[in-house]
Amino acid sequence: MTVRSGSRMDEGAYVLITGASSGIGAELALLYAARGRPLVLWGRNAERLENVAVRARSLGVTVHTRILDLSDGAAAIEALRQDDDSHPIDIAILAAGLGDMRRGSDVVERAEDVLHLGLVNYATPSAMAAAAAERMATRGRGHIVLISSVAAFHALPFAAAYSGSKAGLKRFAEAQQMALAPLGIGVTLVSPGFVDTPMSRRVVGAKPFLQTAPAAARRIARAVDRNRPHLVFPFVFSVLRLVDTLMPWPFKRRILSAIKADQMD
């Protein structure tokens, strides 16, 4: 772990952001730095994470960084507790995640890929949210943000591991919201559509209603400010979600089975 200090708000009100080395996580780091919030940033790529940290420090805030692979859930729990001991976390934004799908040349998804996505997209962020809640409960305040996906609303045969892991995270967030509300802790579930990030750029084909990462970060921060329980964007996906709930399963199955998708390695 590396530590460097800025000039203001060095103590308290820390914002933890995982997946901060690129995409939505990086944009959230810069947004909260511009607000004067000290940061704890996690990522897998040391060079990219340090680049984000340098930009945040230039805005005058303290930034602490940690390199960690979230496939090791036990290490992530311990790291969160260590960071909270030194820098009490007021907002925990668990933005790290993986996107993957069955390639067009594959007959089925690889078992190892299914396990990896389950750990990084569901098991570890859920466990980290629980660890953050333990600490926040003693302080009587705090906010947890879990990043799911609109893919959680649909059974995607070409991305069973991805949609399944995000659906699990969605259900966990909904349950945690109810459990933590009496303790003064907010939980915001975020379900974005396509966002222009390195992960989405691997997808081959159309990306309808594509959002920029800075725009996504602004939406998420506003949702936290307003203590919104669930943010879905763009709005059209809220409409599609309603249609999905009303459509009979045989029709849904036929439509979903006809969708073709692929990604670059």
DSSP-assigned beta bridge partners for residue 91: 15, 143
First-last CA distance in the chain: 30
Query: Residue 204 has which token pair?
Result: 């081959």
Tell me which long-range contacts 184-187 makes (C-beta under 8 A, separation of at least 24): 184/140, 184/141, 184/142, 185/133, 185/136, 185/137, 185/141, 185/142, 185/143, 185/144, 186/142, 186/143, 186/144, 186/224, 186/227, 187/129, 187/143, 187/144, 187/145, 187/146, 187/229
Taking the C-alpha atoms of residue 231 and residue 214, their distance in angstroms, rounded to an integer, is: 16
Residue 69 CA from chain centroid, whole number:
14
| Identity of the residue numbered 188 | T
DSSP-assigned beta bridge partners for residue 145: 93, 188
Cα angle at 58 between 42 and 188, to 5 degrees? 40
> Does the annotation count 32 as an active-site position?
no
What letters, b where the CB count within 10 A reaches 16 and e where it falls short, cover 158-191? bbbbbbbbbbbbbebbeebbeebeeeebbbbbbb
Strands (DSSP E) contained in 30-88 are: 39-43, 63-67
Catalytic position from the list 14, 32, 122, 162:
162
Taking the C-alpha atoms of residue 108 and residue 117, their distance in angstroms, rounded to an integer, is: 15
Would you name the residues annotated as active-site residues?
Answer: 162
